[in-house]
Structure 1
Amino acid sequence: KRFIKYRERLGFENFAVNILGNILAFAPFGFLLPMLKKSYRHFFVIAPLSALFSLSIELVQLYTRVGIFDVDDILLNSIGGILGYLAFTILHFIFRRKHKETNVKKGD
């Protein structure tokens, strides 16, 4: 309900930019974090870390009164982190598979 009122007030284009911007802003977080440490290569690690990091940003905005604390941002940022993680997982799988195929061919 709030989204609909928000969309009507901003217009569809600004509304879409806000949503995509929040999602895309956190995609690198979900993509790069698993590269840093193998223990971060799990959905149930990345999802809460994305949410906690986003929450910390929103709390800083609330405390400093720079920007607005918005629960929607936490949700959208978390989705972005998860999508970034999914992109990492897919690319990691593809590169590992290609690497194995290359090693098998070299062994022939």
Structure 2
Amino acid sequence: MAGISTHVLDVSLGKPIAGMQIELFDMGTQPPKLIHRARTNSDGRTDTPMLPAAQARTGDFELRFWVADYFRTPDVFADIVPVRFTVADAAQHYHVPLLCSPWSFGTYRGS
């Protein structure tokens, strides 16, 4: 299975984040081109892949997670969290989760 997917977890509560806006951009174009926009479901995932397997390709991409809009607290640390990454092998699946709280965030390449 190829393509790009993601999910978001609230580490301060230990649960998935529902309703967060996420955007995927192709960074190989100037200006960067919006490929897909979605909101997370009750499981913290998007209902469809950010980039389906049929559209998989190599290149540089950026996921933008709208963290501040979700947490809506006056002391939220990050606004929009960008995660840039490279798809080196279009035949592989790239799962890029975000672990976040109102004060921190982190990511990794998942499975």
Instruction: Calculate the TM-score normalised by the size of structure 1.
Output: 0.25
Point out the structure with the larger strand share: 2
Larger radius of gyration: 1
Point out the structure with the larger helix share: 1
Instruction: Calculate the TM-score normalised by the size of structure 2.
Output: 0.25
